[in-house]
Amino acid sequence: MLTIVVDMMGADKGMEPLKEGVKRFLQDKSFDDAHLVLVGNTEELKEFDSEERIKKVNATDILPMEAGALDAMRMKSSSMNIAVDTAVSNHYDAVVSAGSTGGFISLATIKMKMIEGIERAALVSPFPSKIGKQVTVLDIGANNENTAYQIFQFAQMGALYSKLVMGVEKPKIYLLSNGVEEKKGSPEIKEAHQLIKESGLEGFQGNIEGRDALRGEADVIVTGGYAGNIFLKTSEGMAVIMSELIKEAFRRNTISKIGYLFAHTGFDKMKEKMDYKSFGGAMLLGINGVAVKAHGSSDAYSFYCALKVAYRMSKEKIVDKIKEAVNALKNQSEDGKENERL
Amino acid sequence: MLTIVVDMMGADKGMEPLKEGVKRFLQDKSFDDAHLVLVGNTEELKEFDSEERIKKVNATDILPMEAGALDAMRMKSSSMNIAVDTAVSNHYDAVVSAGSTGGFISLATIKMKMIEGIERAALVSPFPSKIGKQVTVLDIGANNENTAYQIFQFAQMGALYSKLVMGVEKPKIYLLSNGVEEKKGSPEIKEAHQLIKESGLEGFQGNIEGRDALRGEADVIVTGGYAGNIFLKTSEGMAVIMSELIKEAFRRNTISKIGYLFAHTGFDKMKEKMDYKSFGGAMLLGINGVAVKAHGSSDAYSFYCALKVAYRMSKEKIVDKIKEAVNALKNQSEDGKENERL
């Protein structure tokens, strides 16, 4: 049995799609050992009263979307704050929220605390790729600035995530850079390249450019938070622009509208493939617990996906695995020092 | 009269498309005061013998695409090296090449020299936007790392470029960042934001996210070279992926193929709008001369566009205008110091 705490407030479209997502998750037999603690206005959660696997915690205040770290900590009555507290104090397995990203990162990092030895938490998200397979990208924006060592740790955590949560047996790992050559990149990226290479991280393939990142070759794309966020939003924005242009092209005149009638099945498939919302959200890696940030604009399906990811991360004990990796690395470097002394 | 030196060698598809581009440029009445110096194997340039406005300089060696700065300087016999030398020693107005980007940046920067007061040259390129208008983005990759002050200078140069070369009367200028709020961004971006604001740069609108950068609101997007390169390649790569998926969707089956027959006009227009190649290439700003890097894979039209941009930059005396802006800023800050002393 495992327990996931769910912040039911603060999503863009209110509680309805989240409730639908929860129902879908409950109906899915794959997760029948999961219990949920729903945090929100219990008046609005009455339909779950008879559900054995659900507990409810009342919270009526919503943390605003634009809330910063300080606001998030100060507003103790917010459903998000109560959700994270509930997870921490009861040692529950995971917490999921569709509210303010900044607020959630702050609350989860401060209250769940960092894994010892990990310098910075990273926000990780699966991206759609041309061939349909999902690509794991981190950090997509938990940080404004990262050192080479932090980026190196992101590579380790990303590799574990790809294996354990995405089920990729031998993930191919790339550093996002402005050139494929080893010597290309910002100073931090160049140094991170060396650190990753020296560590012998399995599956490390070198640098990749933004142009090729989503073609499907890579399983994990590693980058600092500032560049990662630009990568995320640029690719997402471009996909949206292109989709809008496709619509315009079909709406051009009566003849093109007829064309749509003939061709739309293929385009529906394409839309599905490149839909950023169907990936559940973003996960915070490097903290002492499982924290999943669902899209603010989640619909029922994407919220269900977010719950699924939280379940899988808990089940696969990703936090423990990251701890093991950090310790292995620590021992390695201590052995190194030992050898130097001899 | 003005004179543009053209490196005719080193393009991906050989000399043919470049020759076609040159012919198209010569035929265009708007540029009839332009003279061209073609640098390349003169044996292959015989068809221009009777053309009054063309001079030829023989050069048969090609700088390899992957050449670095040192290779570019060492290979003195390369058509690119000779082209830049010809422009510098004769005080010609501009130089255009479709060869190695790294090599061209190095040669142009070293031989034409930086404008006094400008710390770093920036590579600037127009991008397609959703509404068809071109957006000026810089630096798209001349640098791996930039200080806040360098990014501030890019903003100034970008504003001038948008006005003088793109013909935008009152360009709207944005900083590329991971959030629209003033306090979002890497440390350099946050500091650059303050510098630009304090300088009172006309048209500065604050930060913009990758998601909105190409919707058509912005005229100029300012960023450091590392993030700018990721922005360029990610948006370009995503546009390519989406185009490929559109093709696949239409090729799906007989019915979708019929759909294509009805709808293709709109899609042809869309392709034209989002075609990165039709923008001529990238221009190096901040050096003492006009240097235009045409796409390596230039076709006749895009090479013609590159020549057009070189013409326009020369005609509008963009180098002089940047010098004036630098001096104005210098005087401003000296006045500031003067005032502090009083």
Q: What is the DSSP string of A178-197?
A: SSSSTT-S-HHHHHHHHHHH
CATH, domain B119-278, list 3.30.465.10, 3.20.20.70, 3.30.360.10, 3.40.718.10 = 3.40.718.10
- For residue A138, the 8-state DSSP code is E
Q: What is the average per-residue pLDDT within A180-194? A: 92
Closest residue on chain B to A252 (Cα): B266
Q: Does A249 touch chain B (CB under 8 A)?
A: yes
**Closest by Cα among A164, A31, A124, A37 to A88:** A37
How much is the pLDDT for A83?
A: 97
Cβ atoms A252, A165 nearer than 8 A? no
Classified as helix, coil or strand, A149 is helix
**Is the distance from CB of A122 to CB of A141 less than 8 angstroms?**
no
Distance CA B219, CA A306 (A): 37
In angstroms, the separation between the Cα of residue B208 and the nearest Cα of chain A is 10
Q: Does the pLDDT of residue B299 top 60, yes or no?
A: yes
> What is the SS3 string spanning B320-334?
HHHHHHHHHHHHHHH
Q: What's the pLDDT band for A127 if we cut at 50, 70, 90?
A: confident
Contact B238 A233 (CB under 8 A): no
| Phi/psi-derived region of residue B141, left when phi > 0, alpha when psi is between -120 and 50, beta in every other case | left
Other beta carbons within 10 angstroms of residue B113's beta carbon come to 12
* Residues 34 through 73 of chain A touching chain B, CB cutoff 8 Å: none
Q: Is 0.85 exceeded by the ipTM?
A: no
Q: What is the pLDDT of residues B17-66, one digit of tens each?
A: 999 999 999 999 999 999 999 999 999 999 999 999 999 999 999 999 88
Give the pLDDT band of residue B255 (cuts 50, 70, 90): confident
Residue A263 clears pLDDT 60, i.e. is over it:
yes
Q: Is A3 helix (H, G, I), strand (E, B) or coil?
A: strand
Contact A294, A97 (CB under 8 A): yes
The pLDDT of residue A36 is above 80 = yes
Structure confidence at residue A31 (pLDDT): 96
Could you say which of A144, A186, A243 has the minimum Cβ distance to residue B145?
A: A186
pLDDT at B280: 67
Tokens of B273: 């709008």
Contact B178 A214 (CB under 8 A): no
- Residue B40's SS3 state is strand
A1-118+286-342 and A123-276 in the same fold? yes
- The Cα–Cα gap between A36 and A156 comes to 30
- What is the percentage of chain A residues whose pLDDT exceeds 70? 95
Q: What are A7's two structure tokens? A: 């912040």
CA atoms within 13 A on the CB side of B143: 21
Give dist(CA A10, CA B107) in Å, integer. 55
Assign B281 a pLDDT band (cuts: 50, 70, 90): confident
Q: Give the pLDDT of residue A202.
A: 94
Sort strands B94-97 and B2-7 into parallel, antiparallel or unpaired: parallel
DSSP assignment string, B215-273: SSS-SEEE--HHHHHHHHHHHHHHHHHHHHHHHHHHHSSHHHHHHHHHHHHHHHHHHHH
Q: Cβ of A265 and B256 within 8 Å?
A: yes
**Alpha helix ranges (H) inside B28-68:** none
Q: Touching check for A200 and chain B: CB below 8 Å? A: no
**A231: contact with B, CB 8 A cutoff:** yes
- Confidence (pLDDT) at B278: 60
Residues of A in contact with B139 (CB under 8 A): none
> What does the domain layout of chain B look like in residue ranges?
1-118+286-342, 119-278
User: Is A239's pLDDT higher than 60?
Assistant: yes
- CA distance to partner chain B, nearest, from residue A123 (Å): 13
| Interface contact A145-B187, CB threshold 8 A | yes
Q: How far apart are CA A5 and CA B216, in angstroms?
A: 41
Calculate the alpha carbon distances from B36 to A204, A280, B105, B319 in Å: 48, 57, 21, 20
Which residues on chain B are in Cβ contact (under 8 Å) with A243?
A: 242
Q: Please, what is the Cα angle at B259 between B253 and B262, to 5 degrees?
A: 150
Name the residue in chain A with its Cα closest to that of B266.
A249
**Lowest-confidence range among A98-107, B228-237, B241-250?**
B241-250
Name the percent of chain B lying above pLDDT 70: 95
Higher pLDDT, A46 or A126: A46
Residues 107-166 of A with CB under 8 A from B: 130, 141, 144-145
Residues 6+ apart with CB under 8 A from A198: none
Question: How many residues are there in chain A?
Answer: 342
Work out the pLDDT band at A65, boundaries 50, 70, 90: confident
How many other C-beta atoms are found inside a 10 Å radius of the C-beta of residue A305? 24
Higher-confidence residue of B338 and A135: namely A135
Q: Which pLDDT score is estimated for B335?
A: 66
Cis peptide before A61 (omega within 30 of 0): no
Mark yes or no for CB contact A234/B225 under 8 Å. Answer: no
Topology classification of domain A1-118+286-342: Isopropylmalate Dehydrogenase (3.40.718)
Residue A340: band (very low, low, confident or very high) from pLDDT cuts 50, 70, 90: low
Report CA A35 to chain centroid distance, whole Å.
Answer: 21
- The predicted pLDDT at position A238 comes to 84
Decide: A80 and A10 in contact? Cβ < 8 Å: yes
Of B249, B265, B269, the CB nearest to A266: B249
Query: Closest residue of B to A272, CA-based?
Result: B245
Q: Are B294 and B281 in contact (CB under 8 A)?
A: yes
Q: Do A226 and B178 touch (CB under 8 A)?
A: yes
Q: Residue B35 — φ and ψ, nearest 5°?
A: -110, 150
Q: How confident is the model at residue B125 (pLDDT cuts 50, 70, 90)?
A: confident
What backbone torsions phi and psi does residue A151 show, to the nearest 5 degrees? -65, -35
Q: Rounded to a whole number, what is the distance in Å from the CA of A285 to chain B's nearest CA?
A: 19
pLDDT at position A298 over 90: no
**How far does the CA of residue A67 sit from the closest CA of chain B (Å)?**
12
pLDDT of B327 above 90? no
CA distance B330 to chain A (A): 29
Q: Are A178 and B241 an interchain contact pair (Cβ–Cβ within 8 Å)?
A: no
How distant is the Cα of B30 from the closest Cα of chain A, in angstroms? 33
The answer to whether residue B263 scores a pLDDT higher than 90 is no
Strands A290-294 and B34-40: unpaired
Name which of A202-206, A327-331, B179-183 the model is least confident about: A327-331
pLDDT mean across residues, chain B: 90
Q: How confident is the model at residue B206 (pLDDT cuts 50, 70, 90)?
A: very high
Query: Which residue's entry shows tokens 């012998």?
Result: A200
Q: What is the pLDDT of residue A158?
A: 95
Lowest-confidence segment of A148-157, A258-267, B170-179, B329-338 by average pLDDT: B329-338
Average pLDDT over residues B256-262: 79
CB contact under 8 A, B274 and A242: yes
B87: which 2 tokens?
Answer: 């422009």
In chain A, which residues have their Cβ closer than 8 Å to the Cβ of B269? Answer: 249, 252
* Averaged pLDDT for residues B61-86: 92
**Rounded to a whole number, what is the distance in Å from the CA of A220 to chain B's nearest CA?**
16
| Max avg pLDDT among A209-218, B72-81, B123-132 | B72-81
Across A220-229, A329-338, B152-161, B250-259, least confident range: A329-338
CA gap B309, B311 in Å, rounded? 5
Nearest chain A Cα distance for residue B292, angstroms: 20
The nearest alpha carbon in chain A to B269 belongs to A249
Does residue A149 have a pLDDT over 60? yes
Reported as a pLDDT band with limits 50, 70 and 90, residue A260 is: confident
pLDDT number for residue A255: 80
Domain A123-276 part of CATH 3.65.10.10: no
| Least reliable range by pLDDT among A122-126, A334-338, B28-32 | A334-338
User: Alpha helix locations (H) across chain B?
Assistant: 16-27, 69-74, 79-89, 101-112, 148-164, 187-199, 225-251, 254-273, 300-315, 318-341
pLDDT in tens, B139-159: 998 999 999 999 999 999 999
- Helices A254-273 and A225-251: crossing angle in degrees, nearest 10, is 150
- The span from the CA of A117 to the CA of A111, in Å, is 17
What is the rounded CA–CA span in Å between residue A71 and residue A63?
Answer: 8
pLDDT band for position B134 (cuts 50, 70, 90) = confident
Q: Provide, as residue numbers in chain B, all residues whose Cβ is less than 8 Å from the Cβ of A274.
A: 242, 245
* pLDDT at residue A337 in the model: 57
CB B203 within 8 Å of CB B175:
no
Confidence of residue A338 (pLDDT cuts 50, 70, 90): low
Bridge partners of A285? A122
Interface test with A, best of B183, B226, B252, B265 (most A CBs within 10 A): B226
pLDDT at A335: 66
The stretch B330-335 carries a mean pLDDT of 71
> Is B234 within 8 Å of A235 when comparing Cβ atoms?
yes
Contacts of B215 in chain A (CB under 8 A): 237, 241
Work out whether strand B122-128 and strand B281-285 pair parallel, antiparallel, or are unpaired: antiparallel
Q: Which residues of chain A does B189 touch, with a Cβ-Cβ cutoff of 8 Å?
A: 226
Q: CB A263 to CB B250 under 8 A? A: yes
How much is the pTM? 0.86
CA distance A203 to A171: 6
For the ranges A270-279, B60-69, B71-80, which has the lowest average pLDDT?
A270-279
What DSSP string runs through A61-107?
Answer: B---TT--HHHHHH-TTBHHHHHHHHHHHTT-SEEEE-S-HHHHHHH
Average pLDDT of span B74-81: 95
Which residues of B, range 201-220, sit inside 8 Å of A by Cβ? 209-215
Single-letter code of the amino acid located at B213: A
- Nearest CB to B227; choose among A214, A230, A240: A230
Residue A318 has pLDDT above 60, yes or no: yes
pLDDT reading at A339 higher than 70: no
pLDDT at A184 (0 to 100): 87
Average pLDDT for B310-314: 93
**For residue A129, what pLDDT is reported?**
82
Which phi and psi (to 5°) does residue B297 adopt?
A: -95, 30
Cβ distance B230 to A230 less than 8 Å, yes or no, reads: yes
| CB crowding A119-128: b at 16 or more within 10 Å, else e | ebbbbbbbbb
pLDDT band at A193 (very low <50, low <70, confident <90, very high): very high
Distance separating the N- and C-terminal Cα atoms of chain A: 49
Rounded Cα–Cα distance for residues B81 and B76 (Å): 6
Q: Nearest CA of chain B to the CA of A1: how many Å?
A: 39
Do residues A78 and A62 make contact, with C-beta atoms less than 8 angstroms apart? yes
pLDDT band at A341 (very low <50, low <70, confident <90, very high): low
Confidence band of B329 (pLDDT split at 50, 70, 90):
confident
